[in-house]
Amino acid sequence: MKSFRHILLAMCAIMALAAAAEQPDPVIESIREAYQQAKESIKKGKGMGNEMVTTLNYTVYKQGKTTETLHFFYKTVQGTYLMSDDRDPHFNYYPLYFVTRNYNIGKKKYYEEFLFDSKNQRLLFALTQDYDENGKRFDRRFYFQNGTVYHIIGPEATPLMQDQVFYQAEELKHAFDWMIQNPKE
């Protein structure tokens, strides 16, 4: 009888662990939801503004000519300043929420996506495409929380790769901010 209880308790513990393993991670689920909302917003707003595309042509040493296309998606938020002379002029703020990057190095083509929280401009998600040693293309998905890597789906990424993704996202934000503030340059 005691062994039956032990078996029953062990089975209950195993079932509880299996049920816990099936529960989705709330951080990843909230990022996936934000990603879907961004994609829907992009689809609805196509051709209606709040997007900026820039194409860069340059040469990568020993690889040849490269064409890079950056596609920025942003919101327009209106606000006001209270000036020292009691005037309150209106201003627009443009929080970036999604960036796509297409480029080639030699004959290899790459695609990346970066999702930002439009409220605080923190990186939430990045998708990168790369090639393995056999030339096979693969995706790597980075989930971020509070400015650090929370979870990665895909081949293992070194700390240097993780830093590179975060650095790339920050550079894209800076480039966007500069372009939106200097539209004629």
pLDDT digits (tens, 9 = 90+) for 5-52: 656 555 555 655 555 556 789 999 999 999 999 999 888 877 667 899
In order of 7, 31, 95, 96, 98, the CA distances from 120 in angstroms are 51, 14, 8, 10, 13
Domain extents for the chain? 27-181
What gap in Å lies between CA 153 and CA 159, rounded to an integer? 14
Residue with tokens 């999604």: 98
- Apex 23 CA angle, 21 and 25, nearest 5: 100
What are 149's two structure tokens? 């890597």
Residue with tokens 């816990």: 20
- pTM, entire model: 0.79
Tens-digit pLDDT profile for residues 94-129: 889 999 999 998 888 999 999 999 888 899 999 999
Dihedrals phi, psi of 117, to nearest 5 degrees: -75, 115
